[in-house]
Structure 1
Amino acid sequence: MKPLNFGILGAAKFALEHMGPAIHAAKGARLTALATSSEEKFAAFQSFAPDLRRHDSYEALLADPEIEIVYIPLPNALHIEWASKALEAGKHVLCEKPLALNAADIDPLIALRDKTGLFAAEAYMIVHHPQWKQVRKWLDAGAIGTLRHADVAFSFNNPDPENIRNRPETGGGSIPDIGVYAYSSVRYAARAEPTKLHSIIHRENGVDVFAQVIGEMQGPKGSFTYGAMTSTRIAPRQQVVFQGDAGLIRVVTPFNAGVFREAEIQLERMGEPTQTIRYPMANQYVLQVENVVRTIREGAPYPWTLEDARAGQAMIDQVFASEI
């Protein structure tokens, strides 16, 4: 199978540390070009991809006939603009989350995807990790009985005022940055959508730095209560717990698997030994890229569509609208 040629728009730190190496390592993918005006940043990518080409502008990369798909790790406020330009240039698109800053902005991108027939998706990497597929299987099978409550915590401390996550003009804030995980992880695993939400939000310099959300969600097997905390101003923590009337599922490292700590899930059922599954070798970024390749080259189904991203953003919009 011919390798899928990737180009990256911008030399983002996340692209350097995670997605660039993942594209380079993934089966069926080739990291071909990077758009950056900085020779120093380009050299850092060459440390693991020595044959990489550099373009001085985003437009030049989009005009490169060899590039088949563009990965977009730009600031949140630029995602829709450059994803649209990439599709218009005839390129497939994998764009970092959040795809947009409100759900309605995704509608024209969906229409453009349908018009061009190209692949376009949000880089929501956790759905590619086997731990989340297993959690979904447990919930589908009723392994913890009837789901009654889901509880999420995701935090880290990032007080740097110059960081794009702390700047309103770039679409910063804890909810756009990590709320997408705290909210849509439960949506994905429980196949559920929110029906009622209330939120408490604290802000600094025009961006949210703490959010506590409580409410109810509706899944195929009924409704359950929900709670989620996100913050970019407190010590690092991440965990998801699904609690039923016959047991619970604990996701120890739900979001930064293999980085925060080793991926591990636990199934606790009343009167039975705890079942623990660990995933020391799974790299969700590599798995994401390989799924992209299979979808584009072979037509395989992709686990996170633009419609999924829109529904996740609609929940984020609802969180902001439900502030107490």
Structure 2
Amino acid sequence: MDAMNWGILGAAKFAREHMGPAIHAARGARLAALATSSAEKAQPFKDFAPDLKVHDSYDALLADPEIEAVYIPLPNTLHVEWTKKALAAGKHVLCEKPIAMEASEIDGLIAARDASGKFATEAYMIVHHPQWELARQWLDEGLIGELRHADVVFSFNNPDPTNIRNKPETGGGSIPDIGVYAYSSVRFAARAEPGELRSVIQRENGVDTYTHVTGEMLGAKGGFTYSAITSTRLHPRQEVTFQGDAGLIRLSCPFNANVFDQAEVTLSRTGEPDRVQRFPGVNQYVIQVENYVRHIREGAPYPWTLEDARGTQAMIDKVRASEL
């Protein structure tokens, strides 16, 4: 099987440090091109992908007939526009989250995907990590009894006013940046959607810097209460807990595995010793790319679609509409 040639639109820091190396390392994939007008920004990519072709514009990369798939790490407000352009150019697309700023925008992406015959989805990498597959399995099996409550905390301290995450014009804020994890992770693992929500939001310079969501989630096995805190002004912390009437599941590094800490899932059940599963060295970005290639080449199942992304964006829209 020939390797899938990938191109990246823009020399973003995250692409340079994580997704570029992941594409280069993934089986069945090859980082073949980068779009940037800066030779200086291109060099770190060439350091690990020496044969990289550099285009001086996004349009030039999309016109490259050798490129089969495009990764888009552009600012949030540009995701819809360039996903549509890439699909129109006949490319498969993996776009950073959030793929849109409102749920209704994703309807247009779904239509563009279907019309193009290409695969497009959001780069929601955690669903590819075995820790989340295990947490979902344990919930499906009812190992903690009836799920009664889920709570999520995801925070880091980034007060830099020049950082893209703190700029309203590029879709900054804790909700679009890390709320997608706090909301999607519970939707995915518990197969649940939000019911009534209430949110408290603090803002600086037009972006949310702290959001606390409480309410209920509704799943096939019933409802449970929910709490999620996201902040870009608190000391780094990330944790997810699912609590049932017979036990709990705790993920101590649910989102930034190998960066924040080692991925670890603990199952605690009444009257039993804790069951701890650790995942040293697992790279969820590499797995994401490999699953993407296998889906296109072999028709293998893929755990995150545009429809899934739309569900999370609808929840984000609901969080904002539920502000107290």
Normalised TM-score (structure 2): 1.00
Deviations 1:103-141 (A, max 9, x none): 000101100111111000100000000000000000000
How many percent of aligned residue pairs carry the same amino acid?
73
1:256 correspondence with 2:284: no
Q: How far apart, in 1, do the equivalents of 2:138 and 2:229 lie?
A: 24
Aligned with 1:302: secondary structure? coil
Aligned residues: 324
Q: CA deviation at 1:259?
A: 0.7
Q: How far apart, in 1, do the equivalents of 2:229 and 2:109 lie?
A: 30
* Alignment match, 1:6: 6
* Alignment match, 2:70: 70
Aligned with 1:253: secondary structure? coil
* Alignment match, 1:94: 94
Q: CA deviation at 1:181?
A: 0.0
Deviations 1:67-114 (A, max 9, x none): 000000000000000000000000000000000000000101100111
**Partner amino acid for 1:83?**
T
Q: CA deviation at 1:220?
A: 1.0
* Alignment match, 2:288: 288
Which 5+ residue runs of structure 1 have no aligned equivalent? none
Aligned with 2:48: secondary structure? coil
Aligned with 2:5: secondary structure? strand
* Alignment match, 1:233: 233
Which 5+ residue runs of structure 2 have no aligned equivalent? none
Q: How far apart, in 2, do the equivalents of 1:151 and 1:312 lie?
A: 16
**Partner amino acid for 2:254?**
P
* Alignment match, 2:214: 214
* Alignment match, 1:29: 29
Aligned with 1:110: secondary structure? helix
Q: How far apart, in 2, do the equivalents of 1:319 and 1:163 lie?
A: 24
Q: CA deviation at 1:301?
A: 1.5
Deviations 1:147-199 (A, max 9, x none): 00000000000111111100000000000000000001000000000011000
**Partner amino acid for 1:236?**
P
**Partner amino acid for 2:201?**
I
* Alignment match, 1:138: 138
**Partner amino acid for 2:41?**
K
Cα RMSD of the aligned pairs, angstroms, is 0.4
Q: How far apart, in 1, do the equivalents of 2:44 and 2:282 lie?
A: 25
Normalised TM-score (structure 1): 1.00
* Alignment match, 2:129: 129
Aligned with 1:47: secondary structure? helix
**Partner amino acid for 2:110?**
I
Q: How far apart, in 1, do the equivalents of 2:284 and 2:119 lie?
A: 19
Q: How far apart, in 1, do the equivalents of 2:30 and 2:316 lie?
A: 34
Q: How far apart, in 1, do the equivalents of 2:228 and 2:322 lie?
A: 14
Runs (4+) of structure 1 moved beyond 6 Å? none
Deviations 1:216-269 (A, max 9, x none): 001111000000000000100000000000000000100001110000000000
**Partner amino acid for 1:102?**
E
1:176 correspondence with 2:176: yes
**Partner amino acid for 2:55?**
H
Q: How far apart, in 1, do the equivalents of 2:184 and 2:93 lie?
A: 21
